[in-house]
Amino acid sequence: MKIFITGGSGLLGQYLNIVLSEKHDILTHYNKNRGNCCEYNSVQLQLEDYNKLKEVFENFKPDVVVHTAAVSNSAKADSLPRSYVYEINVNAAGKIAALCELYNSKIIYLSTDLVYAGYRGSYLDENAKLIPASLYAETKLMGEQKIKEATENYVILREALLYGFGLNHSTNFFQETLKK
């Protein structure tokens, strides 16, 4: 398959580059930090640049898009202008999904379990009440909605906190805690 990975230099993206490139033709995306993207077929672009995104689809023609790129840290999202977080987490998701529909590509979207009301202390399933408690969670949920409006060929994964060791520049809470 031809797989386009957004956020290819991120914590999850760099591992996707390694694993998916073993059996598939990948194109991996980065914005500022290259991570291990330079070791693969890669493209640097800002997600809000719709024309460049469209060029990627026209030239690469992906079968699948794994959309991991986002302002993915709650604290970072709160420190940035709300309009920027919305542009990256909501509008870009909608534009990518619309391009997936246009080019007959499946989109796999990485969302977050933070969209659920977590104050009840019980186990949740995908039908649990949705009450995002942060700007990050709110925009990820809105990104889900944009995807659902743009295409029927999607999978939404609401993952919990990613842990493990990041590659290159990428780190997470687990890694920072271990360092301390």
- Per-residue pLDDT reduced to its tens digit, 33-81: 898 899 999 999 999 999 999 999 999 999 999 999 999 888 889 999 9
Q: Which of 150, 170, 17 is nearest to 3 (CA)?
A: 17
Strands (E), 35-145: 42-44, 64-67, 106-112
Domain segments of the chain as ranges: 2-179
- Band (pLDDT 50/70/90 cuts) for residue 93 is very high
Buried-state track 44-67, b at ≥16 Cβ within 10 A, e below 16: eeebeeeeebeebbeebebebbbb
Mean pLDDT calculated for residue range 133-139: 93
User: Is the predicted pLDDT of residue 106 greater than 90, yes or no?
Assistant: yes
Residue 114 is classified by DSSP as: G
Between residues 176 and 15, which one has the greater pLDDT?
15
166, HSE (Cβ side, Cα atoms, 13 Å): 19
The pLDDT, as a whole number, for residue 73 is 82
pLDDT at 25: 98
Question: Looking at the domain 2-179, which fold is it?
Answer: Rossmann fold (3.40.50)
| pLDDT band at residue 159 under the 50/70/90 scheme | confident
Q: How far apart are CA 67 and CA 174, in angstroms?
A: 23
Comparing 61-75, 105-119, 144-158, which segment has the lowest mean pLDDT? 105-119
User: What is the Cα–Cα distance from 36 to 167, expressed in whole angstroms?
Assistant: 8
Residues 29/46, Cβ–Cβ less than 8 Å:
no
User: Residue 5: its pLDDT value, please?
Assistant: 98
Q: Does residue 45 contact residue 22 with C-beta atoms inside 8 Å?
A: no
Question: Residues 103-109: what's their mean pLDDT?
Answer: 98
